[in-house]
Amino acid sequence: MTRMAIIAHGGAGADPKKATNIQSAVDAGGSKLTHGASALEVAVMVCAALEDDPSFNAGTGSVTRVDGSVLVDASVQTGDGRMGFVASMPETPNPVKVAAALLDEEMNGLAGVGARDWADERGFPRSEVTPRQSKGKKTSDTVGAIALDMQGRIAVATSTGGCSDRPPGRVGDVPLPGCGFWAESSIGIAATGIGEAITREMLCFRVHCQISQMGASMPEAFEEVISKRFDKKTDVGLIGINQHGETYAHANTNMPWAAWSSD
C-alpha cells in the first residue's frame, strides 16, 4: 500500500496564520483517504473547503477585477492523464467542482459565460460571489491541494479569484496546464504567486520534469527553479507530493500550507 498524503497551500504572500484553516481542511481529507476515498475526491474536497472559506482568494472569498467583477479560475488534473479547467467564470462559488466535472468530457477547458452556461446545464449552483475589494491591496491567498491515495493515484486541484488589479478576461496560471498545476506518474505539483511569471516559466511542468526525469528531489527542484528563474520581488510558491508520498512546500515569501500523511 502506498503511503497516502495530502498537501495544500493558501497562497504565496499570504498570512502564515491561515495555515490553521488549511490544516483543518487537510485533516478532514486525510480521514477520507483513510476510509478509501480517491485522490481526486480528496484533492477536490480540500480545495472546495478552502473556496468556501472567505479568508482565501478563491471561490467565495475571491477578489474583484479592476471593473468590480468577480471571475474565478480553477483546475483539476489526475495522474492518469485527465484534466479539467475553467477560466474567468462568473457567479461560481466552487469552480473547482466544475473543473472536476470536465475530467471525463471531450473538452478539457471552458471559459467565461460559456463555462457558466455549461455549469448551469449540469446543476452547479450559480450565485453571486461576494467580492473582496482588492484595489490598492495585494491579495494573493489563492488555494491549491494535492492528494495521493492508497492506490498510488495522484490528483491536483487549484482555484483562484486571480491576482489583484487584473482586468476581466485575464487568464493566470491556475487554469493553464503545466503552469499552475501538473500531475503525472504519482507526482503532483501546484504553484501559487504572480500568475504571469509562473506561466512564462511553465513552472509546474518544469519542476515535475526535474523530479520525474532528472531525478531531483522536491527540495532541490523547488529551491533551484524558484531562486534561479524568479526575481525575489515576484512572489512564487510551490507544493508537491512525490511517488513515495513525501510532501514538500517552498516559497520565496510567506506561504501558509499544511500537510497530512498516513504515517
Catalog residues that contact ligand ASP under the rule CB under 6 A: 11-12, 140, 142, 160, 162-163, 172-174, 180, 192-195, 198
Q: How far apart are CA 114 and CA 96, in angstroms?
A: 16
93 vs 195 by CB, closer to ligand ASP: 195
Q: How far is the CB of 134 from ligand ASP (least distance, A)?
A: 11
175 vs 245 by CB, closer to ligand ASP: 175
List the catalytic residue out of 78, 92, 139, 142.
142
Q: How many CB atoms lie within 10 A of CB 101?
A: 18
Q: How far is the CB of 85 from ligand ASP (least distance, A)?
A: 12
Q: How far apart are CA 18 and CA 27, in angstroms?
A: 15
Active site residue 253: no
Q: How far is the CB of 127 from ligand ASP (least distance, A)?
A: 21
Q: How far is the CB of 138 from ligand ASP (least distance, A)?
A: 9
Q: How far apart are CA 4 and CA 96, in angstroms?
A: 22
Residue 202's SS3 state is coil
160 vs 186 by CB, closer to ligand ASP: 160
Q: Name the residue whose CB lies closest to ligand ASP.
A: 195
60 vs 160 by CB, closer to ligand ASP: 160
Q: Which of 33, 25, 24, 28 is nearest to 5 (CA)?
A: 33
- Is the C-alpha dihedral spanning 33, 35, 38, 41 positive or negative? negative
Q: Cβ distance 140 to 192 under 8 Å?
A: yes
| End-to-end alpha carbon distance in the chain | 12
Catalytic residues: 142
